[in-house]
Chain A
């Protein structure tokens, strides 16, 4: 008896196969890396080679949910578009009813809740995407400013906060280990961008045109220009070269 027909059915050993197949769809998507610094969040996504006749401006993998929250996804683009629409409407509805912007945690919870709903109904399939949400949290009691946060959601409908995370692509496990090795608390923007790009370089061909990097600062979100990105890539590669050549102890070292 096949247990992957309808998602409402558990298999005897407790699997929801449709959800797991959805996660496989995420693995087929292009890689997205998120790194949380001390005063910013960096989102870096792999830009797969486009068809020559295609307009690159219409392919966007890092999108704005509202003026405080930025989202990167991995998996089925069409599913992402639908989920993104729902989230945008939810963000504005929250503003309309509560006269206040929704917190990052609220939006992450909303996306996760929506993804979970589609795993527990008949006749629908789960969203085949995982998302990385980047923004700043609301200030806690007694503190003046919020802190940068990075949330991840997956097709099962779970959401959690991460210091650095990677979704999509076949090598996400090894990339996560790479991030664990390279991550330090309290990184400034430059170091956070470098770590994110380094992680991405493990899976993409070298060059700024194969990646898109967004830096989410407290008051603005910027997309890095190609020439700035090229410089970061050059710096990483020259350090790697030095590491290979001599007994250079520093070196960002990629293994």
Chain B
């Protein structure tokens, strides 16, 4: 893809570039009493796969987790930075940040750095609050944020969004959610060029953030 453009106008600084194609796949959707996030576990660059058990979903608090995609340097730096700041906020205030506040904090960080030193990171934020139920926020590397029922980042969107359109319904149980996720993985295995043998899947519910193993089921 194109390298960053050098604009003749000195006021406009460079946009974040996708000089390396972001090949990570992120999926997520909201259920009746949970939010579920999945990220492929490949860490790769160009044609080389470094490892196939990379965890790209970080827990931000008991209420929320963030799945991030992008070059590993930016992705890890950004996720850890956000995670530590969410913890700091909680210690300062004495109570945890709400899901909408957390998502907006993430968006703000990306947006304010956009025209300085941009983070080349896409993310999906999944959360659960007892009062409001599950939630999912789609944030991309420009600082776009949308609250959605289901979302994908990366090439998998071309395959999985249609599956979500067809099969997602409000107030799904966790079992129905797991089935839907498995459908997506099967579709990717059959139709997507890149081989992604493992996905890390995490569920955010009333008990916090935990990892589930769909392959074992």
Give residues in A with beta carbon < 8 Å to B.
64-66, 85, 88-89, 92-93, 95-96
A-B contact pairs, 14 of them (CB 8 A): A64-B91, A65-B91, A66-B87, A66-B91, A85-B92, A88-B88, A88-B92, A92-B84, A92-B85, A92-B87, A92-B88, A93-B84, A95-B84, A96-B80
A95 vs B58: C-alpha distance in the bound complex, in angstroms? 15
A93 vs B88: C-alpha distance in the bound complex, in angstroms? 10
A85 vs B84: C-alpha distance in the bound complex, in angstroms? 14
A95 vs B88: C-alpha distance in the bound complex, in angstroms? 11
* Nearest-CB residue, chain A, relative to B81: A96
CB distance from B83 to the nearest CB of A (A): 8
CB distance from B110 to the nearest CB of A (A): 18
A64 vs B90: C-alpha distance in the bound complex, in angstroms? 11
User: Which B residues are CB-close (under 8 A) to A64?
Assistant: 91
- The answer to whether B91 and A88 touch across the interface, beta carbons within 8 angstroms, is yes
A95 vs B91: C-alpha distance in the bound complex, in angstroms? 14
User: Which A residues are CB-close (under 8 A) to B88?
Assistant: 88-89, 92
User: Which A residues are CB-close (under 8 A) to B91?
Assistant: 64-66, 88
**Chain B positions 74 through 115: 1 when the CB is less than 8 Å from some CB of chain A, otherwise 0:** 000000110011011001100000000000000000000000
Q: How many residues of B contact A (CB 8 A)?
A: 8
* Nearest-CB residue, chain B, relative to A96: B84
A88 vs B89: C-alpha distance in the bound complex, in angstroms? 10
- For window 126-183 of B, CB contacts with A under 8 Å fall at none
Given pairs A66-B87, A92-B84, A96-B81, 10 additional interface contacts (CB within 8 A): A65-B91, A66-B91, A85-B92, A88-B88, A89-B88, A92-B87, A92-B88, A93-B84, A95-B84, A96-B84
User: Which A residues are CB-close (under 8 A) to B85?
Assistant: 92
CB distance from A124 to the nearest CB of B (A): 23
CB distance from A36 to the nearest CB of B (A): 24
CB distance from B73 to the nearest CB of A (A): 15
CB distance from B105 to the nearest CB of A (A): 14
* Nearest-CB residue, chain B, relative to A93: B84
A64 vs B87: C-alpha distance in the bound complex, in angstroms? 12
User: Which B residues are CB-close (under 8 A) to A65?
Assistant: 91
* Nearest-CB residue, chain A, relative to B85: A92
A95 vs B84: C-alpha distance in the bound complex, in angstroms? 8
CB distance from A212 to the nearest CB of B (A): 15
A64 vs B92: C-alpha distance in the bound complex, in angstroms? 9
Q: In this complex, which of B80, B81, B88 has the most chain A Cβ atoms within 10 angstroms of its Cβ? A: B88
User: Which B residues are CB-close (under 8 A) to A88?
Assistant: 88, 91-92
User: Which A residues are CB-close (under 8 A) to B92?
Assistant: 85, 88
* Nearest-CB residue, chain B, relative to A66: B91
